[in-house]
Amino acid sequence: MKHKITKKQQRLDTIARLEREGRFDVDYLPKSDNFILPDSDFKFVRTNIFYRMACIFCRTVTFLFGPILCWLAYGLKIRGKRNIKGVKGAICVCNHVSILDTLFVKQAVGHYRSYHTGDPHNNRKGLGGYILRRAGFLSLGGSFGAQKNFAQTLEYLFKRGAIVNFYPEEALWQGYEKPRPLKIGAFKYAARFNVPVIPLFVTYEGKRRRTVVNIMPPVYPDADLNLRDNARKMCDECSEMWRGVYERVYGKPLQYDCAANDAIQQQ
Protein backbone atom coordinates (compact mmCIF):
# COMPACT_ATOMS: atom_id res chain seq x y z
CA MET A 1 0.00 0.00 0.00
CA LYS A 2 1.44 3.34 -1.05
CA HIS A 3 1.59 6.15 1.47
CA LYS A 4 0.36 9.57 0.40
CA ILE A 5 3.17 12.11 0.30
CA THR A 6 2.25 15.22 2.27
CA LYS A 7 2.98 18.76 1.14
CA LYS A 8 5.40 19.07 4.03
CA GLN A 9 7.30 15.99 2.92
CA GLN A 10 7.38 17.27 -0.65
CA ARG A 11 8.83 20.54 0.62
CA LEU A 12 11.46 18.76 2.71
CA ASP A 13 12.40 16.50 -0.22
CA THR A 14 12.71 19.52 -2.55
CA ILE A 15 14.89 21.44 -0.09
CA ALA A 16 17.08 18.37 0.49
CA ARG A 17 17.54 17.96 -3.27
CA LEU A 18 18.41 21.63 -3.76
CA GLU A 19 20.92 21.41 -0.92
CA ARG A 20 22.57 18.35 -2.47
CA GLU A 21 22.84 20.24 -5.75
CA GLY A 22 24.23 23.35 -4.04
CA ARG A 23 21.42 25.47 -5.49
CA PHE A 24 20.83 27.52 -2.37
CA ASP A 25 19.26 30.53 -4.11
CA VAL A 26 16.51 28.63 -5.93
CA ASP A 27 12.96 29.47 -4.86
CA TYR A 28 10.79 26.36 -5.14
CA LEU A 29 7.50 28.15 -4.39
CA PRO A 30 5.21 29.17 -7.28
CA LYS A 31 5.16 32.86 -8.19
CA SER A 32 2.26 35.06 -9.18
CA ASP A 33 2.09 36.76 -12.58
CA ASN A 34 -0.10 39.51 -11.12
CA PHE A 35 2.64 41.90 -10.02
CA ILE A 36 4.09 45.33 -10.77
CA LEU A 37 7.65 45.43 -12.08
CA PRO A 38 9.18 48.76 -11.02
CA ASP A 39 10.13 51.18 -13.78
CA SER A 40 11.77 54.61 -13.73
CA ASP A 41 8.46 56.23 -12.67
CA PHE A 42 7.78 53.83 -9.81
CA LYS A 43 7.56 55.53 -6.41
CA PHE A 44 8.95 53.34 -3.62
CA VAL A 45 8.08 55.81 -0.86
CA ARG A 46 5.71 58.75 -1.14
CA THR A 47 5.62 61.85 1.03
CA ASN A 48 2.03 63.07 0.71
CA ILE A 49 -0.22 63.09 3.78
CA PHE A 50 -2.60 60.40 2.53
CA TYR A 51 0.23 57.96 1.91
CA ARG A 52 1.67 58.63 5.35
CA MET A 53 -1.70 58.13 7.03
CA ALA A 54 -2.13 54.82 5.19
CA CYS A 55 1.39 53.77 6.28
CA ILE A 56 0.66 54.59 9.91
CA PHE A 57 -2.58 52.60 9.77
CA CYS A 58 -0.99 49.52 8.18
CA ARG A 59 1.99 49.58 10.53
CA THR A 60 -0.29 50.02 13.54
CA VAL A 61 -2.23 46.94 12.51
CA THR A 62 0.97 44.87 12.28
CA PHE A 63 2.17 46.37 15.58
CA LEU A 64 -1.04 45.35 17.36
CA PHE A 65 -1.76 41.99 15.77
CA GLY A 66 1.58 40.80 14.35
CA PRO A 67 3.07 39.80 17.71
CA ILE A 68 -0.11 37.92 18.65
CA LEU A 69 -0.09 35.99 15.38
CA CYS A 70 3.62 35.22 15.66
CA TRP A 71 3.25 34.02 19.24
CA LEU A 72 0.24 31.79 18.53
CA ALA A 73 1.65 30.31 15.31
CA TYR A 74 5.37 30.16 16.14
CA GLY A 75 5.87 30.94 19.83
CA LEU A 76 8.12 33.74 18.59
CA LYS A 77 10.88 34.98 20.87
CA ILE A 78 13.33 37.82 20.19
CA ARG A 79 16.84 37.45 21.62
CA GLY A 80 19.52 40.17 21.69
CA LYS A 81 17.54 43.41 21.35
CA ARG A 82 20.16 45.16 23.45
CA ASN A 83 22.58 44.71 20.53
CA ILE A 84 20.74 47.33 18.46
CA LYS A 85 19.90 49.82 21.16
CA GLY A 86 20.49 53.28 19.71
CA VAL A 87 21.21 52.00 16.18
CA LYS A 88 19.55 54.17 13.52
CA GLY A 89 19.88 54.11 9.76
CA ALA A 90 20.99 50.56 8.99
CA ILE A 91 20.51 47.46 6.90
CA CYS A 92 19.53 44.20 8.54
CA VAL A 93 19.95 40.77 6.97
CA CYS A 94 17.86 37.75 7.94
CA ASN A 95 17.66 34.15 6.82
CA HIS A 96 14.49 33.55 4.78
CA VAL A 97 12.65 30.65 6.40
CA SER A 98 8.97 31.57 6.68
CA ILE A 99 6.27 33.30 4.68
CA LEU A 100 5.74 35.48 7.76
CA ASP A 101 9.35 36.20 8.66
CA THR A 102 8.85 39.84 7.68
CA LEU A 103 6.69 40.04 10.80
CA PHE A 104 9.55 38.45 12.75
CA VAL A 105 11.89 41.18 11.55
CA LYS A 106 9.39 43.93 12.31
CA GLN A 107 9.07 42.69 15.86
CA ALA A 108 12.86 42.46 16.20
CA VAL A 109 13.88 45.90 14.87
CA GLY A 110 10.69 47.96 15.05
CA HIS A 111 7.30 48.03 13.34
CA TYR A 112 7.36 51.75 12.57
CA ARG A 113 10.92 52.13 11.31
CA SER A 114 11.52 48.94 9.33
CA TYR A 115 11.27 48.43 5.58
CA HIS A 116 11.53 45.11 3.78
CA THR A 117 12.93 44.30 0.37
CA GLY A 118 11.75 41.39 -1.72
CA ASP A 119 11.21 39.80 -5.08
CA PRO A 120 9.10 41.91 -7.49
CA HIS A 121 6.65 38.99 -7.70
CA ASN A 122 5.58 40.04 -4.21
CA ASN A 123 4.83 43.55 -5.48
CA ARG A 124 1.26 42.55 -6.20
CA LYS A 125 -1.39 44.51 -8.01
CA GLY A 126 -4.59 45.29 -6.16
CA LEU A 127 -5.37 45.65 -2.47
CA GLY A 128 -2.79 43.11 -1.26
CA GLY A 129 0.10 44.97 -2.89
CA TYR A 130 -1.28 48.32 -1.74
CA ILE A 131 -1.21 47.14 1.89
CA LEU A 132 2.23 45.52 1.61
CA ARG A 133 3.83 48.65 0.17
CA ARG A 134 2.34 50.84 2.87
CA ALA A 135 3.48 48.39 5.50
CA GLY A 136 7.04 48.92 4.23
CA PHE A 137 7.61 46.58 1.28
CA LEU A 138 10.27 47.69 -1.24
CA SER A 139 10.40 45.78 -4.49
CA LEU A 140 13.76 44.76 -5.92
CA GLY A 141 14.46 44.42 -9.63
CA GLY A 142 12.99 46.38 -12.51
CA SER A 143 14.56 48.78 -14.97
CA PHE A 144 17.82 50.68 -14.56
CA GLY A 145 15.82 53.77 -13.69
CA ALA A 146 13.91 51.83 -11.03
CA GLN A 147 17.14 50.60 -9.48
CA LYS A 148 18.46 54.17 -9.39
CA ASN A 149 15.27 55.31 -7.66
CA PHE A 150 15.57 52.39 -5.27
CA ALA A 151 19.09 53.46 -4.25
CA GLN A 152 17.92 57.05 -3.74
CA THR A 153 15.05 55.75 -1.61
CA LEU A 154 17.48 53.79 0.55
CA GLU A 155 19.60 56.90 1.10
CA TYR A 156 16.48 58.85 2.08
CA LEU A 157 15.35 56.15 4.52
CA PHE A 158 18.76 55.78 6.14
CA LYS A 159 18.90 59.52 6.80
CA ARG A 160 15.54 59.22 8.55
CA GLY A 161 16.85 56.44 10.80
CA ALA A 162 15.05 53.55 9.11
CA ILE A 163 16.25 49.94 9.10
CA VAL A 164 15.91 48.18 5.75
CA ASN A 165 15.76 44.40 5.73
CA PHE A 166 17.26 42.19 3.02
CA TYR A 167 17.14 38.42 2.63
CA PRO A 168 20.63 37.84 1.19
CA GLU A 169 20.02 34.13 0.66
CA GLU A 170 17.41 35.30 -1.90
CA ALA A 171 15.10 32.28 -1.85
CA LEU A 172 12.56 31.25 0.79
CA TRP A 173 13.23 27.78 2.23
CA GLN A 174 10.53 27.14 4.80
CA GLY A 175 11.79 25.79 8.12
CA TYR A 176 15.39 25.36 6.92
CA GLU A 177 17.81 25.49 9.84
CA LYS A 178 21.20 26.05 8.22
CA PRO A 179 22.57 29.40 7.06
CA ARG A 180 22.98 29.50 3.27
CA PRO A 181 25.61 31.38 1.23
CA LEU A 182 24.92 35.11 1.19
CA LYS A 183 24.62 37.29 -1.89
CA ILE A 184 26.63 40.49 -1.65
CA GLY A 185 24.03 43.01 -2.89
CA ALA A 186 22.79 44.21 0.50
CA PHE A 187 26.35 44.68 1.71
CA LYS A 188 27.22 46.80 -1.32
CA TYR A 189 24.43 49.18 -0.34
CA ALA A 190 25.73 49.25 3.24
CA ALA A 191 29.23 50.11 2.02
CA ARG A 192 27.93 52.66 -0.49
CA PHE A 193 25.86 54.56 2.10
CA ASN A 194 28.21 53.92 5.01
CA VAL A 195 25.61 52.27 7.25
CA PRO A 196 25.96 49.27 9.57
CA VAL A 197 24.53 45.83 8.90
CA ILE A 198 22.56 44.10 11.64
CA PRO A 199 22.69 40.29 11.34
CA LEU A 200 19.48 38.45 12.32
CA PHE A 201 19.28 34.68 12.34
CA VAL A 202 16.13 32.64 12.92
CA THR A 203 16.48 29.37 14.85
CA TYR A 204 14.05 26.68 15.99
CA GLU A 205 14.47 25.66 19.59
CA GLY A 206 13.03 23.12 22.01
CA LYS A 207 10.80 20.12 21.42
CA ARG A 208 8.12 22.31 19.88
CA ARG A 209 10.59 24.09 17.63
CA ARG A 210 9.87 27.52 19.02
CA THR A 211 10.92 30.24 16.58
CA VAL A 212 13.65 32.55 17.90
CA VAL A 213 15.07 35.62 16.16
CA ASN A 214 18.68 36.09 17.25
CA ILE A 215 19.89 39.70 16.92
CA MET A 216 23.66 40.06 16.72
CA PRO A 217 25.83 43.18 17.13
CA PRO A 218 25.97 45.41 14.04
CA VAL A 219 28.82 45.09 11.56
CA TYR A 220 30.22 48.48 10.54
CA PRO A 221 31.92 49.57 7.31
CA ASP A 222 35.68 50.07 7.33
CA ALA A 223 36.70 53.55 6.15
CA ASP A 224 40.05 52.22 4.93
CA LEU A 225 38.53 49.80 2.40
CA ASN A 226 37.05 50.42 -1.02
CA LEU A 227 33.38 49.66 -1.70
CA ARG A 228 33.90 46.14 -3.04
CA ASP A 229 36.27 45.01 -0.28
CA ASN A 230 34.10 46.64 2.36
CA ALA A 231 31.03 44.82 1.11
CA ARG A 232 32.87 41.49 1.02
CA LYS A 233 34.26 42.03 4.52
CA MET A 234 30.81 42.78 6.00
CA CYS A 235 29.26 39.88 4.11
CA ASP A 236 31.89 37.45 5.43
CA GLU A 237 31.52 38.76 8.98
CA CYS A 238 27.74 38.37 8.92
CA SER A 239 28.08 34.89 7.44
CA GLU A 240 30.43 33.87 10.27
CA MET A 241 28.07 35.31 12.87
CA TRP A 242 25.15 33.36 11.42
CA ARG A 243 27.28 30.23 11.46
CA GLY A 244 28.24 30.83 15.09
CA VAL A 245 24.60 31.12 16.16
CA TYR A 246 23.66 27.99 14.23
CA GLU A 247 26.43 25.92 15.79
CA ARG A 248 25.74 27.23 19.29
CA VAL A 249 21.97 26.67 19.16
CA TYR A 250 21.98 23.28 17.46
CA GLY A 251 25.19 22.03 19.09
CA LYS A 252 26.81 20.77 15.88
CA PRO A 253 29.13 22.09 13.19
CA LEU A 254 27.63 23.55 10.05
CA GLN A 255 27.84 20.91 7.35
CA TYR A 256 25.92 20.49 4.13
CA ASP A 257 25.44 17.48 1.91
CA CYS A 258 28.81 16.54 0.37
CA ALA A 259 27.83 17.72 -3.10
CA ALA A 260 26.67 21.03 -1.65
CA ASN A 261 29.95 21.51 0.18
CA ASP A 262 31.83 20.98 -3.10
CA ALA A 263 29.59 23.50 -4.85
CA ILE A 264 30.22 26.14 -2.16
CA GLN A 265 33.98 25.64 -2.29
CA GLN A 266 33.95 26.21 -6.06
CA GLN A 267 32.16 29.57 -5.74
1 lies in some domain: no
> What's the pLDDT tens digit per position in 24-42?
999 998 888 889 999 999 9
- Which residue ranges in the chain fall short of pLDDT 70? 1-5, 258-267
User: Of how many residues is the chain composed?
Assistant: 267
Alpha helix positions (H), the chain: 7-21, 49-74, 101-109, 126-134, 144-159, 185-193, 227-250, 258-266
User: How many CA atoms lie within 13 Å of 39's alpha carbon, on the beta-carbon side?
Assistant: 3
Give the model's pLDDT for residue 5.
Answer: 67
175 lies in some domain: yes
Angle, alpha carbons 265-266-267 (nearest 5°): 95
186 lies in some domain: yes
47 lies in some domain: yes
Among the listed residues 123, 142, 120, 139, the one whose alpha carbon sits nearest the alpha carbon of residue 131: 123
The H or E element containing residue 83 is: none
Strands 90-94 and 197-205: parallel
2 lies in some domain: no
Long-range contact set of residues 85-89: C-beta below 8 Å, sequence gap at least 24? 87/163, 87/196, 87/198, 87/218, 88/161, 88/163, 89/157, 89/158, 89/159, 89/160, 89/161, 89/162, 89/163, 89/195
Give the model's pLDDT for residue 147.
Answer: 95
> How many beta carbons lie within 10 A of that of residue 25, not counting itself?
15
Give the model's pLDDT for residue 172.
Answer: 95
**DSSP per-residue string spanning 224-241:** TS-HHHHHHHHHHHHHHH
34 lies in some domain: yes
Per the structure, the complete domain to which residue 98 belongs is given by: 7-266
CATH number of the structural domain spanning residue 212: 3.40.1130
pTM of the model: 0.92
> Quick one: CA torsion of 163, 24, 254, 75, rounded to 10 degrees?
50
30 lies in some domain: yes
Number of compact structural domains in the chain: 1
